Structure 1
Amino acid sequence: MREPGLPLFQPGVERHWVCGAGAVILHLFRCDRVSVTDREGRQACEIAVFTPDGQEDLAALGLDPARESAGINRLLSGADRESRAIAAELRRRNLPARVGRAGLLFAKESAPGETVELVVARECIAIFHAAGGPMAVDAQDAPTDLSVVVHRATATPLIEPPLPEPLADFRHELRVAKCTAQAYEVKAGEYIQVIDVAGRQCSDFVCVDARLLEKGVERGFDMTATRTMTGLLYPGPGLYSKFFSTDLQPLVEVVQDTVGRHDSFGLACTARFYEDQGYPGHPSCSENFNGTLKPYGIQPKRGWPCINFFYNTGLSSQNAIFLEDPWSRPGDYVLLRAMTDLICASSACPDDIDATNAWNPTDIHVRIYPATSDFQRAIAFRMSADSEPRLTRETAFHPRTSALTRNFAEYRGFWLPTRYNNHGAVDEYWAAREAAIVLDLSALRKFEVLGPEAETLLQLACTRNVKRLADLQCVYTALCYETGGMLDDAIVFRLGGDKFRLVCGDEYTGQWLREQAAKRGLRAWVKSSTDQLHNLSVQGPKSRDILKEIVWTAPANPKLEEIGWFHFTIGRIGGYDGAPVIASRTGYTGELGYELFCHPKDALKVWDAVWEAGQPHGLKPLGLEALDMLRIEAGLVFGGYEFNDQVDPFEAGIGFTVAVKGNEAFIGRDAVLRRKEHPQRLLVGLELEGNETAAHGNCVHVGRAQVGVVTSGCRSPILKKNIALCRMDVAYAAIGTEVEVGKLDGQQKRIPATVVRFPFYDPEKIRPRS
C-alpha cells in the first residue's frame, strides 16, 4: 500500500529540504552521517560550519575551505523572508552574521540525484546552502533544490514527529491531548494556528462571539450560513474564506492552510453517534466541548456546529456523505484570524472506530499569535503526492496588480488576478480585442533543458520535431504518456545549440523529463527556473506599437518589430543598461501579442515601462476571467479541461502539434497514431441557442444518449453568442450536427446547440500572424 503522506519517522533519521538559493541550519553531533543530494543536477552546495561557540570549523565535516562564502553571505544580507529567517536563526544560536570560508559540494556537471556523504567528527552547527544568484534571462544556471538527510549516531526514539517551527513569535500555545478538548480566549485580529502533530488527526474547532456573550447572547458557527455566504462546500483560504454566525457576521477567516481538505458538513462527533455504533460511553468531541466551555457560561449542546479540520468528507454520486482517511500529514496546519473577540475550543477527536483519524487518535497543538503578526494568505501546493509542500506565493508583479484589484485566485501555487477594479472581465476582454492588455502569467512553469543530449531528450518528450527549431525560435507542442494521453502542453524555446527552455503548465513535467533522461542514460539536465523567470503577456492589436518603444535589442539580435510568430529576441527595457528581458511573439488570446520574461528583481521596472508606454494606446490590465473568454473564442486548450492523461492531442484539438513524419521517436507515438486512425472523440465547437451558457462538465446529448461533454464555455462578447468547446463522439462531430446541452440531471433541461467550426474567432489565425 502506498501512503506517501505518512513518511516513516525512523529513529535517528531526519530529512531536510533546501530550496534553490535557500539554506537550512542543522545542529550535528559526533559520528552523525549527513547525505546531501543534488535533486536536479548542476547545483552547488555551499556549507559553512561553526563550533557551538561560533568559531568556524569546516574540518568537523571533513571539508576544505575551498572558497569565500559568497553565496551564504549574499543570502544573509537579503531582505526577503528566507534571508530574514536564516539570519534570525543564526542570531538565536549566537552565531556570526557573516561567514568567512565555506566548503563546496558537487561539480559543475553533477548528475540529478547525485549524493555526497559526510561524517561528523565533532559537535558543530552547519549551514547548507543551495548556492546561486539571480539568473540572467538568457542563462540557464537557476539555483535548484537540495535534500539533506541526517542519520544520527545516537537515535532517540520519536514518540511523535517534531512540531513545525513557529510562524512568528507567538503569544500562547497549548497541547490538546488525544481524545480531549481545550478552550481558550482570542482577541480580535489575533491568529490561531491549529497543528496536526502526527498527521491524519481530525480537530473540531468551535468559537463563540465573546462580546455578544457578555450581553447574554450566544453566537457561534452556522455552517448553512457559511456555505451560503461563501458559495463553497469546503473551506479554503482566500479573500472570501470566512466562517459566519446565524447573524451572518464573520467570526474567523482562514489565512493559511497546508492541507486543503476539511469539512463543514456536519457536527462535531456526538455521544449519540457512538451509541448508535454500539459504543455507549465512548468520549465525543461535543461532550468534551461542553465540559471545557462550561466555565465560560456557554450552554451545552448534544451536537456542536464546528469546522472539522483535517476531516475528509465527500459527496458520492448519490449525494450521500462518506468519509475516508484524512489528507493531513505530520505538522500540517490551518491558520485562522479572529474577526472579533472569541471564546474558542479545539478538540483532538476521539474517534477510533473508523477512518476519521486513521483508526488512531493523536494530539493537536494550538498556537496563538498577536494581531501585529504579518502572515500572507496561502495554501500548500504539492507537485506530486510525495513532494515537499510550498505555500502559495505572490508573483514579482504583485505590488502593481494588487494596487489595482483585490480579486485574486490561487493557481498552481501562485496568486493571480481574476479581474480588476473599475474594469471587469468584459471591459478587459474588449481591450485585448481592440487595443492592448497586460497579463501576469508568472505561474507558468519554466525549465532549463541543457546538455549535449538536450535535443535528444526533447525530441523524445515532445510531439513536435524539435530538431527543426532554429536559434531564437520556439514552438508549441504536446507531451504525452506511453498511452497517448497528454501530460502537458508547452512552448519550447531554443536559446542555442544544446540550450532549450520549456514553458508549460504543470510543475510535474520537469520531474517527468528528468525521469525520461535517467531511464535512457541521456546527458541532459532539466533545471527548474520558475522562481527565476516571471513573465508578463502583452496582447492586442496595439501590443507591437507599445513594446517597440521600450524594448531595446543589440544589433546582432532582431528588433522587437522584426520577430515573427513563434520567434523571440533577447533585449533590455529602455536601453543598453535597462532590465534584461526575453520577448517572444507568443500568447494565449488569439491576438497579436508578446510575452516578456524577466528576473523577479526586475519585474516592477518591466511592468512600469509597459504600463507607461501603453497608456496612450489604451492599455488595460487583464485577469483570468477575461483570459478564459479570449482563449475559448480562439480555440486554445487548457489542461484539465480540453486535455488530460486520458485524452490524446487529436482528441484535444491540437493534432497539428504531432509531427507524424518529422519525429518518429516521441513517447506515446504508436498509441497516438493508433488513436488517430481509430478516433472515438474529437474536439468541436458548439453554438448554443438562448442566453444560458454551457459550463465545464455539462453533458451533451442526442436524444437520451450522451454523445459528448462540454470542456469549456462562455458568452462571446464579439460574436454575441453562447459558445462552447466540446469533446464529441465522432459520429456527431460534423459541422451542422444538432445536439443538446444537458442541465440539471442532463434530461430535464436541455439547451439546443449546433456543431460549428472552431476556432470561433479568427479561425485562420490572421491576427496573431499580423
Structure 2
Amino acid sequence: MHGSTVLHTFTNTGYDGPGRRFPGFPNAFDARTHVLSPREAVKLSIKPGDLLSVEGAGSMQPLDLAALAEGGQPMLAALGLSQTGLVEWDGFDSAQFSGWIAARDGDQRVPCYRFDQSSEPVIIRASQTMTVWLIRPVGVAGLIEGSGAGNVTVLHKPAAKRDVQLPPLLGDTRDEFTIPRGSAMAYELKAGEFVQIIDVEGQQCSDFMALRADGLDRGEEWMIDSTATRSMVRRAFPGPGLLDKFFDRDMRPLLNVVQDTCGQHDTFGLACTARGYEERGFPGHLNCSDNMTNALVSYGVKKRTAWPAINFFWSTWVDPASHHILTEESRSRPGDYVAMRALEDLVCTSTACPDDIDPINGWNPTDVHVRIYRPETPIRRAVAYREKEDALMSISQESAFHDRLAPLTQHFAPARDLWTPVSYPAHGTLGEYWACREAVTVQDMSGLRKFDIVGPDAEALLQLATTRNVAKLPVWRGSYTLMCDESGSVIDDGTLFRLAPEIFRWCCGSEESGRVLQELADSRGLQVRVHALRGTMPNLAIQGPKSRDLLRKIAFTQPHVPSLDHLKWFGVTVARLNDREGAPFMLSRSGYTGELGYEVFCSKSDAVAIWDAVMAAGEEFGITPMGSAALDIIRIEAGLAAANAEFAPGVDAFEAGLGFAVDLTKSDFTGKSALQRNARDPRRVLKGLLIGCDDVPAHGAPVYAGERQVGVVTSAIRSPMLEHAIAMARLSVEQVENGIQLEIGQLDGRMKRLCATVSDIPFIDPQRKRARA
C-alpha cells in the first residue's frame, strides 16, 4: 500500500505511553509519541533513516501527511509515498502551518498523502532530511457533535541515537556558549536581551548571579538580593507572570522570568563553597563560589568565599514538620531551561555545578548551555506542562480566546497547559463576583479536559468507570459524576453528556480520567474508543441570572435537538450562531457557580467569532468578563468541590462531600465496595464553617474542639454576600452537628484561634434554586 517503505503492519500495539514499544519496531523506547486530536497539526523534523509509525488512521479517522523541504518543496517521494490529494485548509486549525508555508513563500496548494485506506498501523522510513506535517482533518460540525472525533497516534523513532540535542531556538541569538561541567563563565546582558540557561543532559544545578553594569562602573556591587526578592514577590520560586522578578537590595528589578520548563529550583541558597567540601573530607574540591569569583574578576568584582545565587534546577524544599531544608536529585530533564529578560544592563555569571558527592546533580555533573537573544526576539511567557511525569513536555499556550482577553487584562495564571485570566482590572474580582450574582458573566474555561467516548460499549465502560447510573442518562442530557479508584478516593469529577446512544462527552479536570478510561476499556476488551479532544474544543462559561436572556439572542437550534428554552439543568444541545449557517457549538446548561448558567463548546477556528457574539449580545445585560479569582469565591459559597482541596488522594467521595454523586444501587463500578464500607461507617464529613470575622484561614488550617484537632480546612474565602469569612472543612463525625462551636487554628494553631460555627453547605441557595431557575 505504501510502496517499499512499509516495514511492518500489526494489530497488537502493546504499551501505550511515551516511548512505547511496538512489535516490529525495535528499540522504540526512545521514540517520541504524538497523539493527534481532531483538527490538530503537528510538525516533525525528520532525518534520513528516521522511522514513522502511524496507528489509528483510517476512513473514519483520516490523517494527512505533507512532507516538505526547508524551502517548502514537496518531498513525499522521500518517504516512498505518492500524492493522493491536497491539504484541505478548512479541515484543521491551520494558523501555524500557514505561517510556516508563508515564511517560505510556498505554494498554498500543498500535496499530501492521506492515510484512509486501512486502520492497521504502518511504519515508513525517511530517506532524506525534511519537515513533515501531520494533519488530522475533521469538519467543525463533526467535531461539535462527536461523530468526527478520533485520535491518531504517530511515533517518531530517530535513525540512531544522536548527540545531546539542545531545545529549539527561541529566536534570533546574539551569542551562545557551553559551560563545561565544574566551571563558570561570566557574560554581559544589555537591557531587553534574553538569556536562556539550559540543562543539557538533565539533573544539573546551575548557579546564577547578575550585577548591575552601571554599579560596577562606579565600583559598587548591586546584585540580586534574595531577601528583597522574596519580600517583593512573596514567593520562593520563579515563575512567569506578575510574580516573576529578581530585585537588588534597593528593590529595583534586574531580571524577569519569561519561560521555565522545570518549575523546581532553589532560588535563594548559596552556591557550593570550598568550606562545604572541606568539612566533609574533600579539600581542594572544585566549587561554584570560587568558579564565580574567578569568572567575575575581570569585571572588578571582589572575591567572595561564598556567593549567594539563584540555584537553577536544584531541588530543595522545607520539611513541614522539622522545618529543615531538604534536597534530592533535580527534577530537570534533558533540555530543560529557564529564560529571563534583562531589565537593566547586567554582568552575569552562570556555573555548571561540580558537586559529585550529593544527589543534586544526579551524582554526575554535566554541562550547561547559555544562549543570549536580541531584544526584538518575541519570546512569549510560558511554563512547562506535562500530562504525567513521564509524558512529553508542552509549553503553556494562549487560549483560542486570547486575542480578546489580552486587551482586557495582564493578570494570567497557568491552568494546565493554557493561560487563564485571574481577574480583570476594569471590574476587579468583587465586580466580577457581583456581575455573576446579579447579571451575567463570561469566562474562558478552555483548560477543562474533554474526552469523547464512542462505540457500542461506551455505556458499559462508563458504567464501570463512573459513580452514577449511566444507563439512566438520556440523549441530550448530562450528569455530574465521579471517577474513583479502588479505595473510593476521587480521581476526577466532571460532567458526562450523552450526545447519541453510543457517543458520550466527558468534561473534567484531569487527563488522568482519559488514562483510566483507556486502561479499563483495554482490560475488559470493550469495543470503544476514548478520544482526547485536547485543545481542539475551547469553551466559555456564561453564568448569571441574565445568561438565558443573552443566549436567546444568538443560539439557533434545529428542530431535531432541544432548544435553549427546553434545556433543563444539565441539559445539552447543538446550536449555531444566529442562524442555520452560523458557527456550530455545543451548548449545555451547566457551570461551576451555583447560578443559572450555560457552557459553550466550539471549534478553535470559531472561538473569536463566538466571543464577539456573546459580548455584543450581552451588552444590554451588563455582561462582565470573569476570572478565576471571582469564580473561586462563588464556587466556595456554592459548596462546590475542587481537586486538591475537597478531594485529593486518600479522601473518598463521601469525605469529600460528594456522596450525592455516588449511586450505590447501580451495578458494580470501580471503588464501589470501598464506598459501601465507608458509607456505613464514615469517620470524616465535609461541612461548612461560619467564621465570626473577616480573617480567612489558609487551606489545611487545623480545626479544633478545645485542645484536640478534629478537622482541617479545605477551602475558605470571605463571602461578599454573607459579609464574613466562610470555610469548607473535613470534620470528624462527632463534630458535624449544625451549631457546634469550633475554632480554626492560626499561627501555630494555638496562639490565635478563629471562632467558627458548623453549618450545612452550600452556604448560599442550599436548594440550588438559582441554578434550576
TM-score (norm 2): 0.91
Distance 2:244 2:599 in 1: 33
| 3-state SS of 1:171 partner | strand
> CA 1:468–1:476 in structure 2 vs 1: closer, same or farther (change >3 Å)?
same
Question: Match for 2:65: what amino acid?
Answer: I
Report if the CA contact (8 A) 1:15-1:147 is conserved. no
SS in structure 2 at match of 1:394:
coil
Q: Where in structure 1 are there 5+ consecutive unaligned residues?
A: none
Q: Given that residues 176 and 348 in structure 1 are in contact (C-alpha distance below 8 angstroms), is that contact kept between their aligned partners in structure 2?
A: yes
The 2-side partners of 1:259 and 1:36 are apart by 30
CA distance in 1, matches of 2:429, 2:612: 22
In structure 1, distance between residues paired with 2:153 and 2:170: 23
Q: Does 1:148 align with 2:155?
A: yes
Cα 1:151–1:444 change in 2 (3 A) is closer
1:357-376 alignment runs, 5 A limit: 357-376=361-380
Q: 1:18 aligns with which of 13, 17, 34?
A: 34
1:67 aligned to 2:78?
no
* Matched residue type, 1:29: P
Q: 1:165 to 1:144 in 2, by over 3 A?
A: farther
1:734 deviates by 1.4
- Per-residue deviation, 1:101: 4.3
Is it true that 1:279 corresponds to 2:282 in the alignment? yes
Q: How far apart are residue 751 of structure 1 and its match?
A: 1.2
The answer to whether the 8 Å contact 2:464/2:669 transfers is yes
Indicate the residue corresponding to 1:303 in structure 2.
306
Please give the alpha-carbon distance, in whole angstroms, between the structure 2 residues aligned to 1:360 and 1:412: 32
**In the TM superposition, what is the alpha-carbon distance from 1:528 to its structure 2 partner?**
1.2
Say if 1:279 and 1:7 are closer, same or farther in 2 by CA, change over 3 A.
farther
Deviations 1:293-349 (A, max 9, x none): 111112222222221110001101221111110000001111111111111111100
- Could you say if the C-alpha distance between residues 128 and 55 of structure 1 is closer, same or farther in structure 2, counting changes exceeding 3 Å? closer
Superposed, which structure 2 residues align to 1:646-725 within 5 Å? 646-661=650-665, 663-725=666-728
Residue of structure 2 in register with 1:605 after alignment: 609
1:766 to 758, 765, 769: 769
Does the 8 Å CA contact 1:38/1:145 hold for their aligned counterparts? yes
- In structure 1, C-alpha distance between the alignment counterparts of 2:185 and 2:55, rounded to whole Å: 43
Q: Which residue of 2 aligns with 1:323?
A: 327
Deviation at 1:125, TM superposition (A): 3.7
In 2, the alpha carbon distance for the partners of 1:302 and 1:40 equals 66
Measured at CA, do residues 7 and 595 of structure 1 come closer, stay the same or move farther in structure 2, by a change above 3 Å? Answer: closer
* Deviation at residue 524 of structure 1 after TM alignment: 0.9
Separation (CA, whole Å) in 1 of partners of 2:552 and 2:107? 49
Alpha-carbon distance between aligned partners in 1 of 2:114 and 2:761, rounded to the nearest angstrom = 59
TM-score (norm 1): 0.92
Structure-2 separation of matches of 1:6 and 1:311: 27
- Closer, same or farther in 2 for the Cα pair 1:433/1:197, shift >3 Å? same
Aligned equivalents of 1:383, 1:40: Cα separation in 2: 26
CA distance in 2, matches of 1:230, 1:491: 37
CA distance in 2, matches of 1:678, 1:752: 29
- Gap change, CA 1:229 and 1:144, over 3 Å in 2: farther
Aligned AA (1:716) = S
Structure 1 match to 2:647: 643
Deviations 1:140-164 (A, max 9, x none): 4346463424263xx46x5x52112
Question: Which deviates the most, 524-533 or 210-219?
Answer: 210-219
Give yes or no for contact 1:684–1:733 (8 Å, CA) kept in 2.
yes
SS state of the match for residue 471, structure 2? helix
Q: Write the distance in 1 (CA, Å) between the matches of 2:340 and 2:122.
A: 41
Counterpart among 477, 489, 497 of residue 501 in structure 2: 497
In percent, how many aligned pairs have the same letter?
Answer: 43
1:695–1:235: structure 2 CA closer, same or farther, 3 Å change rule? same
Instruction: Give 1:452's aligned residue.
Output: 456
User: How far 1:265 sits from its partner (Å)?
Assistant: 2.8
Q: Name the aligned partner's letter for residue 22 of structure 1.
A: A
Unaligned runs of 5+ in 2: 1-16
Q: What does residue 132 of structure 1 align with?
A: 137
Is 1:524 aligned to residue 528 of structure 2? yes
3-state SS in 2 of match to 1:432? helix
Output the CA distance in 1 between the equivalents of 2:314 and 2:625: 39
Rounded to whole Å, the distance in 1 between the matches of 2:772 and 2:114 is 53
- Deviation of 1:576 after TM superposition, in Å, equals 2.3
CA, structure 1 residues 336+554, in 2 after alignment: closer, same or farther (shift >3 Å)? same
1:17 offset after TM fit, Å?
A: 4.2
**Which residue does the alignment assign to 1:262?**
265
AA aligned opposite 1:67: T
TM-aligned CA distance change 1:103 to 1:405, over 3 Å = closer
1:178 paired residue number = 181
1:83 to partner: Cα distance:
5.1
Amino acid at match of 1:294: V
Range that drifts further, 211-220 or 409-418 = 211-220
Which amino acid in the other structure matches residue 468 of structure 1?
K
Hey, what does 1:553 align to over in structure 2?
557
Pick one of 399, 403, 406 that aligns with 2:403. Answer: 399
Q: Tell me the alpha carbon deviations over residues 703-746 of structure 1, each in whole angstroms, 9 at most, x when there is no partner.
A: 22211110001111111222110111111111122211111111
Q: Report the alpha carbon displacement of residue 269 of structure 1 after superposing the two structures with TM.
A: 1.2
In 2: Cα distance, 1:41 partner to 1:667 partner: 34
Determine if contact 1:105/1:116 at 8 Å carries over to the other structure.
no
- Return the offset for 1:361: 0.4
Root-mean-square deviation over aligned CA pairs: 2.7
**Counterpart residue type for residue 79 of structure 1:** A
Q: Cα distance 1:464–1:749, how it changes in 2: closer, same or farther (>3 A)?
A: same
The answer to whether the aligner puts 1:29 opposite 2:48 as a matched pair is: yes
Q: Does 1:116 align with 2:122?
A: yes
Flag the 1:644–1:12 CA change in 2: closer, same or farther, 3 A: closer
The letter of the residue matching 2:620 is: P
Count of equivalent residues: 747
Relative distance call for 1:598 and 1:719 in structure 2 (3 A) is same
Change (3 A) 1:391 1:33: closer
Which residue is equivalent to 1:46? 64
Change (3 A) 1:115 1:611: same
Compared CA separation, residues 677 and 106, structure 1 to 2 (3 A): farther
1 CA distance for matches of 2:19 and 2:266? 21
Which of 202, 211, 234 is matched with 1:231 structurally? Answer: 234
Equivalent-residue separation in structure 1 for 2:87 and 2:158 (angstroms)? 28
- SS of 2:403's partner is helix
Measured in 1, the distance between the counterparts of 2:172 and 2:505 equals 42
Report SS of the residue matched to 2:585.
strand
Counterpart secondary structure, 1:326: coil
